[in-house]
């Protein structure tokens, strides 16, 4: 380091122009594009400030007032504040805010209530479920006996199958939650089944916790024993996660909260990320304010408006609509495996979303036949129902541009075919035109103007 003065008092703009410039480009990318990935959001400056705070320097293994290292009075204060805010916001008696992210949070739940080899049930990944709910390549299927459940051909959860499988396999743990499901989760029906077979019932609300906090989605609190959530999706905080135990959970197992604490630390993790904890506290503070309710409801209003506008143009949606922040576009009317074409063509038009499987996908998870999109980030940016028509129109025009491309049946031809596709769309005039319109549109909804890099 050249001098301590530089080290502590100068900003990254002068000390590291290389990284600074990459961050600047990322701000530009976010500012000039429409972010429709439903698991992403745009956090407040306050969340960013807490995340970039000196708490990143601290080690605080343990829990508030029970730490292994000294100097933890402020780390204690900020973690306790995050816990108290989460308890109040969600109405639960116990919260752990230390999981590094959603997947480690779910791992801690397994570690707390299951033994290796126990049977678990979760939403099948190609049907919209998460990796950590028992997908074959994930730890959750390697260490436990995974019994996946499915959605029906209409896209809705198959509750009859779920009950039948639960009675047959008597799982120790049942998950409800998904990364690609556009309808309200029937927590009450799940709880009945879990209670009937004596299973722990965990609701993974990673995607919808902000909607729950803002009362735009039913809460699982009266029904589940355990609730996990990320903090960076609709909750609009930093990357991180929380595990909650409900009154019902404590009634089933009075030691459940203690088991979760021990599973997170020292079971799976070392020192908590106190800078993330501070930012989670800020996000929970924001989510407790009345205008967050408006935000959560606006997310759903926008999602419904976008779904309606897309269907009006003749696009096909899984379940023909949405109850939440998310939409699944079924591209099978144009052929199979079309998701990658639309995702990449939209990327060139500054619209970001992700390819995704649809129920009974005729293609594979790597080349799925749909795309997933959602409204949390654009709603944070101030877009309303009216603007959803512009987005639907852009998507429709790009769908038209990729319609004629067909994923080869012969796997060995896919690479060359995609290379040719990429070369052609780069020069597509309509895609370039949509991009220009998107950049212009985004100027009306600026973000992070005060950030200097
Ligand atoms: C996003 C998500 C997770 C995992 O979160 P990461 O932070 O990416 O590990 C877990 N469960 C569900 C349902 C999710 O949508």
Question: Does ligand 1 have an atom closer than 6 angstroms to the CB of 127?
Answer: no
pLDDT tens sequence across 85-137 = 999 999 999 999 999 999 999 999 999 999 999 999 999 999 999 999 999 99
pLDDT tens sequence across 19-78 = 999 999 999 999 999 999 999 999 999 999 999 999 999 999 999 999 999 999 999 999
* DSSP-based three-state secondary structure for 145: strand
Helix H or strand E encompassing 351: strand 351-352
- The answer to whether the predicted template modeling score (pTM) of the entire model surpasses 0.75 is yes
Q: CA-to-CA distance for 141 and 138, rounded, in angstroms?
A: 6
> What φ, ψ does residue 326 adopt, rounded to 5°?
-125, 150
Question: Does ligand 1 have an atom closer than 6 angstroms to the CB of 204?
Answer: yes
Return the structure tokens found at 395. Answer: 């998507």
Residue showing tokens 């929970």? 284
CB 337 within 8 A of CB 355: no
The residue whose C-alpha atom lies closest to atom 13 belonging to ligand 1 is 178
Q: How far is the CA of 97 from the centre of ligand 1 (A)?
A: 15
pLDDT tens sequence across 373-388 = 999 999 999 999 999 9
Residue 360: partners with Cβ closer than 8 Å, 6 or more residues away? 153
What is the mean pLDDT of the segment spanning 3-15?
Answer: 84
pLDDT tens sequence across 294-317 = 999 999 999 999 999 999 999 999
Question: Does residue 144 carry a pLDDT above 90?
Answer: yes
Question: Does residue 222 carry a pLDDT above 90?
Answer: yes
- CA distance to 370, 414, 418, per residue, from 424 (Å): 21, 15, 10
Question: Does residue 140 carry a pLDDT above 60?
Answer: yes
The pLDDT, as a whole number, for residue 202 is: 98
Domains of the chain, by residue range, sit at 54-287, 298-442
Q: At CA 129, angle to CA 127 and CA 131, rounded to 5?
A: 125
Question: Does residue 1 carry a pLDDT above 70?
Answer: no
CB 110 within 8 A of CB 140: yes
> What φ, ψ does residue 209 adopt, rounded to 5°?
-60, -30
Among residues 138, 300, 285, 131, the alpha carbon closest in space to that of 206 is found at 131
Question: Can you tell me which atom of ligand 1 is nearest the CA of 240?
Answer: 7
The pLDDT, as a whole number, for residue 2 is: 58
Q: How far is the CA of 102 from the centre of ligand 1 (A)?
A: 5
The pLDDT, as a whole number, for residue 7 is: 82
Q: CA-to-CA distance for 436 and 439, rounded, in angstroms?
A: 5
Q: How far is the CA of 138 from the centre of ligand 1 (A)?
A: 13
Question: Does ligand 1 have an atom closer than 6 angstroms to the CB of 207?
Answer: yes
> What φ, ψ does residue 193 adopt, rounded to 5°?
-65, -45
Among residues 94, 81, 100, the alpha carbon closest in space to that of 226 is found at 94
Q: How confident is the model at residue 196 (pLDDT cuts 50, 70, 90)?
A: very high
Return the CATH number of the domain spanning residue range 54-287.
3.40.640.10
Active-site residues, by number, are 59, 61, 204, 230, 233, 239
Q: CA-to-CA distance for 143 and 435, rounded, in angstroms?
A: 46
Architecture of the domain delimited by 298-442: Alpha-Beta Complex (3.90)
Question: Can you tell me which atom of ligand 1 is nearest the CA of 232?
Answer: 7
Question: Does ligand 1 have an atom closer than 6 angstroms to the CB of 44?
Answer: no
The pLDDT, as a whole number, for residue 270 is: 97
> What φ, ψ does residue 174 adopt, rounded to 5°?
-120, 130
Q: How far is the CA of 130 from the centre of ligand 1 (A)?
A: 7
CB 199 within 8 A of CB 118: no
Among residues 245, 207, 316, the alpha carbon closest in space to that of 91 is found at 245
Return the structure tokens found at 94. Answer: 């116990």
- CA distance to 174, 246, 278, 399, per residue, from 92 (Å): 20, 5, 20, 45
């Amino acid at each position: 380091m050249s001098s301590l003065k530089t080290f502590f008092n100068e900003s990254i703009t002068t000390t590291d122009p290389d990284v600074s410039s990459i961050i600047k480009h990322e701000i530009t990318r976010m500012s000039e594009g429409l972010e429709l990935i439903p698991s992403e959001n745009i956090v407040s400056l306050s969340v960013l400030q807490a995340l970039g705070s000196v708490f990143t320097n601290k080690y605080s293994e343990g829990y508030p007032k029970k730490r292994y290292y000294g100097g933890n009075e402020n780390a204690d204060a900020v973690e306790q504040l995050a816990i108290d805010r989460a308890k109040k916001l969600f109405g639960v008696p116990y919260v752990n805010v230390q999981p590094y992210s959603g997947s480690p949070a779910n791992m801690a739940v397994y570690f707390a209530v299951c033994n290796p080899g126990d049977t678990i049930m979760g939403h099948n990944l190609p049907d919209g479920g998460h990796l950590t709910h028992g997908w074959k390549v994930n730890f959750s299927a390697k260490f436990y006996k995974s019994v996946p459940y499915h959605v029906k051909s209409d896209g809705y959860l198959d509750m009859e199958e779920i009950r039948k499988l639960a009675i047959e396999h008597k799982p120790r743990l049942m998950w409800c939650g998904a990364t690609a499901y556009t309808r309200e989760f029937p927590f009450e029906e799940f709880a009945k089944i879990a209670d009937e077979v004596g299973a722990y019932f965990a609701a993974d609300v990673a995607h919808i916790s902000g909607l729950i906090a803002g009362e735009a989605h039913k809460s699982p609190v009266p029904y589940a024993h355990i609730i996990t959530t990320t903090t960076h999706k609709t909750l609009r905080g930093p990357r991180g996660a929380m595990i909650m135990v409900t009154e019902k959970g404590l009634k089933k197992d009075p030691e459940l909260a203690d088991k979760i604490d021990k599973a997170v630390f020292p079971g799976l993790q070392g020192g908590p990320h106190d800078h993330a904890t501070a930012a989670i506290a800020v996000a929970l503070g924001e989510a407790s304010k009345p205008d967050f309710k408006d935000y959560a409801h606006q997310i759903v209003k926008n999602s419904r408006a976008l779904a309606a506008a897309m269907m009006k143009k003749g696009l096909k949606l899984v379940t023909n609509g949405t109850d939440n922040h998310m939409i699944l576009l079924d591209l099978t009317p144009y052929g199979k495996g079309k998701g990658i074409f639309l995702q990449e063509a939209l990327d060139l038009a500054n619209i970001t979303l992700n390819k995704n499987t649809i129920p009974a996908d005729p293609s594979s998870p790597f080349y799925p036949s749909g795309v997933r999109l959602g409204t949390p980030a654009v709603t944070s940016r101030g877009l309303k129902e009216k603007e959803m028509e512009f987005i639907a129109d852009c998507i429709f025009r790009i769908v038209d541009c990729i319609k004629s491309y067909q994923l080869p049946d012969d796997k060995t031809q896919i690479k060359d075919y995609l290379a040719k596709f990429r070369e052609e769309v780069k020069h597509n005039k309509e895609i370039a035109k949509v991009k220009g319109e998107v950049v212009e549109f985004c100027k009306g909804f600026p973000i992070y103007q005060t950030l200097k890099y």
